[in-house]
Chains A and B, each alone.
Chain A
């Protein structure tokens, strides 16, 4: 049995996420689409907090809602002149888009509603069954090389970020 506050928070955030993700792909103005995406990302961060992953929610807000959204707004303002009709984005191939997204939604909903594994415990029981994740455990998971520890992917990500910095500077610099 979950508390009433949790359920109210869930409904507010879930309805907001559904509405804003629909608006993000149907609105005509590109800056508004980016803002709706920001709201969807913040709603996802609230879900992470609610599920008990505080560190992940903080990373989601800092990296996605902070860093990536700043990049998006920066790119939009660099490629669109203000006070101009080029801020509008039109759509094409609407029919095939509706068919494909509807088909994938129906398929996924069918899969998740007919899987017996998924009709399980409530959130409160799961949070109580798992131990609280401390920063020490997260740090040890990232810097160890044993079982359930991820030193090699962590190093690969750091090399990827270095390559990304060099690639971004090389691609975007003025010639």
Chain B
């Protein structure tokens, strides 16, 4: 039995579909951000798997994944700062109560 490329792509697809489901159905801003992290993580895994199986001599997919992790960290920090600011303004983080751009 061989661990071929498909074996690593299938969990990645499941993670991506779960991320889409959570992104649409969640009402809490932090839960939406968690779903977004799932989708980003599945994309990172895909970069690495394609690098290892199709171009084993180079390391470009790994470098892309390192950059993606750095950008995801920056994006999460800013998003959490915005969420905390929204919580200070209206008292909760429910997206159905955020209707105005300026309070």
Q: Which residues of A contact B (CB under 8 A)?
A: 1-2, 6-7, 10, 14, 17-18, 21-22, 24-26, 30, 33-34, 37, 40-41, 44, 47-48, 51-53, 55-56, 59-60, 63-64, 67-68, 71-72, 74-76, 78-79, 86, 89-94, 96-98, 100-102, 104-105, 108-109, 112-113, 117-124, 126-127, 129-131, 133, 137-138, 141-142, 148, 150, 153, 157, 160-161, 164, 167-168, 171-172
Q: What number of A-B contacts does a CB cutoff of 8 Å give?
A: 234
The reply to whether A14 and B7 form a contact with Cβ atoms under 8 Å apart is yes
Majority-rule SS of A interface residues: helix
Chain B residues contacting A78 (CB-CB under 8 Å) are: 84, 87
Nearest chain B CB to A30's CB is how many angstroms away? 6
Select A126's contact among B52, B70, B71, beta carbons within 8 Å: B52
- B71: chain A residues at CB < 8 Å are 157, 160
The count of residues in chain B whose C-beta lies closer than 8 Å to any C-beta of chain A is: 70
- Judge whether B25 and A109 touch: CB under 8 Å: no
Question: How far apart are the CA atoms of A51 and B61 in the complex, in Å?
Answer: 12
B38 close to A25 (CB less than 8 A):
yes
Q: B59 near A137 (CB under 8 angstroms)? A: yes
Contact check, A122 vs B3: say whether CB atoms are below 8 A apart.
Answer: yes
Distance of A171 Cα from B18 Cα, bound (Å): 30
Q: Is the CB of B41 within 8 A of A44?
A: yes
The B interface is mostly helix, strand or loop, or mixed, namely: helix
A59 touches B4 (CB 8 A): no
Chain A nearest CB from B103 CB (Å) reads 12
B48 lies within 8 A of A121 (CB) = no
Task: Give 13 A-B contacts (CB < 8 Å), ordered by A residue.
Answer: A14-B10, A14-B11, A25-B19, A33-B31, A51-B48, A75-B83, A89-B28, A89-B31, A92-B96, A97-B21, A100-B21, A118-B5, A142-B63
Contact of A64 among B5, B9, B69 (CB under 8 A): B69
Complex CA gap A131/B33 in Å reads 37
In the bound complex, CA of A100 to CA of B8 (Å):
22
